[in-house]
Amino acid sequence: MFEWLHIAVPPAPLFFAQLLVGLINGAFYAMLSLGLAVIFGLLNIINFTHGAQYMLGAFCAWFLLNWAGIGYWPSLVIAPIIVGITGIGIERLLLRRIARLDHLYGLLLTFGLALIIEGIFRQQYGSSGLPYTIPPELQGARNLGFMFLPNYRAWVVVASLGVCLATWFVIERTRLGAYLRAATENPILVRAFGIDVPRMVTLTYGGGVALAALAGVMAAPIYQVSPLMGSNIIIVVFAVVVIGGMGSIFGAILSGFGLGLIEGLTKVFYPEASSTVIFVIMALVLLVKPAGLFGRTA
């Protein structure tokens, strides 16, 4: 039916399989854009280092495995903590000094940091990447009838959904989240109530960074642990956050999964466009709704 467009419509089982694969990619986009949205929404910092911190999470998992013999499951907890602490260091030493200035300075600073971190790792480890095996409990695949679903990828979808929902719950439904949101709107007033705002800001930045590192640990077994992995994904994640709305947690999660699906479909029908479709959508959304789909206009 669509031959004149050179588009081949695949059979139904392959179609559902591609949707599932798109969902899995969407899980990574959602986790990463969640961290970015948390940092921007609550702290007004455009954190370009996010991709490098995702890469640091994966490398941390690799170091833990190869230098300390610590496997995947403990790394899921330890690596985000370690990278989160470095994030806290960055916030304390660098970001705090430019907090009063225009957003662009934060963007430039974090972008420069990302280049430095990536450059150091690339100098040391090359660009081809290092191997990290899937943990034995998650190896193998399940025959779903329409495709073989690798167990590890199923775990990624479930875990990232869990993490995203937990983060959303903490920010939107708990008292701590309420303090955070209040501190973003009016830090002076919140401080007057005796709440330590600078400490909350630091911990929130560390938390966002830890989310990126967690995504990195989960990505390590499927993509090579490579210094380039952050820069490859960060631009797409920024587009996802912009589409979802820069301040909206829920928007980031929804558009992460949604755009993963759309990218997956593009790979089926017109793969040559799969690296650009998300930006096309971003351009269209910005034309119609400049604050993003779920964003609140300032």
Partner 1 sequence: MSRLAKLAIAAAVLGMAAGAQAQTTPDTIRVGVLADMSSLYADLGGPGSVEAAKMAVEDFGGSVLGKKVEVVSADHQNKPDVGSSIARQWFDQQNVQMITDLTTSSVALAVQEVAREKNKIIMITGAASSDLTGKNCAPTAIHYEYDTTALANGTGAEVVKAGGKTWFFITADYAFGHALQNDTASVVEANGGKVLGSVNVPLNSADFSSYLLQAQASKAQIIGLANAGGDTINSIKQAAEFGIVEGGQKLAALLLFLSDVHSLGLKTAQGLNLTESFYWDQDDQTRAWSKKFFDRTKKEPTMTQAGVYSATMHWLEAVKAANSIDGPTVIKQLKSKPINDFDIRNGHIQDDGSLVHDMFLYEVKKPSESKGEWDLYKLVATIPGAQAFKRPHGNECPAVKG
Binding mask 222-241 for partner 1 (x = CB under 8 A): xxx-x-xx--xx--------
Nearest to 55 by CA among 10, 116, 104, 143: 116
- 272 sits near partner 1 (criterion: CB under 8 A): yes
- 177 sits near partner 1 (criterion: CB under 8 A): no
CA distance 1 to 79: 50
- 264 sits near partner 1 (criterion: CB under 8 A): yes
CA distance 143 to 6: 31
Closer CB to partner 1, 123 or 297, in the complex:
123
Which residues on neighbouring strands pair with residue 225, listed in sequence order? 130
Judged by DSSP in three states, 86 sits in helix
Tokens representing residue 38 in the block: 């948390």
- Which phi and psi angles does 130 have, rounded to 5°? -120, 150
In the region spanning residues 194 to 223, those forming contacts with partner 1, defined by CB under 8 A, are 222-223
- 152 sits near partner 1 (criterion: CB under 8 A): yes
| Residue that the structure tokens 């956050």 belong to | 241
- 147 sits near partner 1 (criterion: CB under 8 A): yes
Give the contacts of 172 (CB within 8 A, at least 6 positions apart).
249, 250
Least distance in Å: CB of 107 to partner 1? 14
In the region spanning residues 63 to 82, those forming contacts with partner 1, defined by CB under 8 A, are none
Closer CB to partner 1, 129 or 198, in the complex:
129
- Residues counted in the chain: 298
Closer CB to partner 1, 18 or 202, in the complex:
18
Least distance in Å: CB of 130 to partner 1? 7
Tokens representing residue 231 in the block: 């820069």
Whether the CB-CB separation of 25 and 157 falls below 8 Å is answered with: no
Closer CB to partner 1, 21 or 209, in the complex:
21
In the region spanning residues 273 to 292, those forming contacts with partner 1, defined by CB under 8 A, are 274-275
Which residues on neighbouring strands pair with residue 142, listed in sequence order? 149
Least distance in Å: CB of 277 to partner 1? 11
- 174 sits near partner 1 (criterion: CB under 8 A): no
> Which amino acid is present at 296?
R
Binding residues with partner 1: total (CB under 8 A):
40
Strand blocks (E) in the chain: 141-143, 148-150
Angle between helices 103-125 and 229-244 (to 10 degrees): 150
- 145 sits near partner 1 (criterion: CB under 8 A): no
Closer CB to partner 1, 60 or 228, in the complex:
228
Residue 6: exposure state from Cβ atoms within 10 A (0-12, 13-18, ≥19): exposed
Whether the CB-CB separation of 142 and 149 falls below 8 Å is answered with: yes
Closer CB to partner 1, 30 or 197, in the complex:
30
- State which of residues 128, 287, 288, 297 lies at the interface with partner 1 (CB under 8 A): 128
Would you state the torsion angle of the CA atoms of residues 244, 247, 250, 256, taken in this order, to the nearest 10 degrees? 40
- 96 sits near partner 1 (criterion: CB under 8 A): no
Least distance in Å: CB of 241 to partner 1? 19
Contact residues: partner 1, CB under 8 A: 10-11, 13-14, 17-18, 21-22, 24-25, 122, 126-131, 133-134, 141, 147-148, 150, 152-153, 222-224, 226, 228-229, 232-233, 264, 267-268, 271-272, 274-275
